[in-house]
Amino acid sequence: MVTDPGSRVVEPYVETDNSVETRKAVSDSFLAIHNITSNRFWQFAALFGIMFVLGIIGFVMRLSSGFDDKAAWGYYVAVFAFLMTTSSAAPMVAIAPRIANSHWRRPISRAAEIWALAGCLNLLLYIPLIWLLPSLENGRRSLWFYGQVEGVPAYSPHIWATLAILGLVLLGLALVWLSSLPDFAVLRDQGEGWRKKWGSRLALGWRGTSAQWNWQYHRMGVVGAFYFMMLIFVHFFISVEFLMVHVPGWIDSLYPVTHAHNALQAGVATMMLTMFFLRQFGGYKDYIGLDQFWGLGKLLLAL
């Protein structure tokens, strides 16, 4: 209900005679997609599950050989950098258009934000890399003024890179949780069993009031801005600490920026593929239209 134009909006959504579907119909439609699991889903889940188990076996085999042969870990580092470039940058598809107040991003914002959950896997993949990085005691090049300023630890690269990646993961989880508050409330009200239980815990009393929507909007803006800042910071560390400082004579001020820029491009490309699969196989053809593909295509062209 809306009073005069200068008054506060009491309800976040207004249903008019021109509405194609009622709010309840839209909610029921999404819940139906969420609750129904097809055989194709389980086939793909089994396939990727087998590949994941094979990856764990390969990781254990590599880990058992130790860290003395650093060249043998090159492929592992490349995989980590690839995942950080694609999955961790995909949430920017939701963050940047939200800041620019672009409404075409609304149907795909949640899909982009969910990619932040892959940061948990990236954090686990990063742990062995701590032992691959040599300390500053071996005389290698560094950004940390080791030996020139007192109190600089020999393991400064390890400390700051770990804190940066951990901060990125936590910000990503916070972003997903904030954006999912209305969904948790729906699960709380209409779910059953463990879904209802966890929806009630994570919804934090969400009722969809104007004050709550306003609170969510501003918090997501702040968290998204910090996520973008930390994303650039993490890619700076990856490009410098895992590559440039280990190549004698390599001095390039543009490479860290290029690495971060490539991540933004890869994030947009990742979301375009995600949109295709959600539209084609996920049951979201009525909600993801050509406007979203055109919008991301223009954004990718601009990048």
Each residue's pLDDT tens digit in the chain (303 positions)? 444 434 443 344 445 554 555 666 666 666 666 666 677 778 888 998 999 899 888 888 888 877 777 777 888 888 888 888 888 999 998 888 888 877 888 888 888 999 999 888 888 888 888 888 877 777 777 777 666 667 777 778 888 888 999 999 999 999 999 988 888 888 887 777 787 888 888 888 888 888 888 888 888 889 999 999 999 989 888 888 888 877 777 777 788 888 888 989 999 999 999 988 888 887 778 778 888 888 888 888 887
Domain end among 66, 83, 109? 66
How far is 278 from 265, CA to CA, in rounded Å?
20
Look at residue 11 in the predicted model and tell me its pLDDT: 41
Look at residue 30 in the predicted model and tell me its pLDDT: 66
Q: How many folded domains does the chain comprise?
A: 2
Q: Which residue has the tokens 């996920």?
A: 282
| Domain span holding position 180 | 69-302
Q: Does this model's pTM top 0.75?
A: yes
247 with 107, same domain: the answer is yes
188 with 249, same domain: the answer is yes
Look at residue 8 in the predicted model and tell me its pLDDT: 40
What is residue 61's three-state secondary structure? helix
198 with 219, same domain: the answer is yes
132 with 237, same domain: the answer is yes
Domain end among 51, 66, 81? 66
Q: Retrieve residue 75's tokens.
A: 């492929």
93 with 53, same domain: the answer is no
The separation between CA 23 and the C-alpha centre of its own chain, rounded to angstroms, equals 28
Query: Residue 272 falls within a domain, yes or no?
Result: yes
How far is 254 from 5, CA to CA, in rounded Å?
50
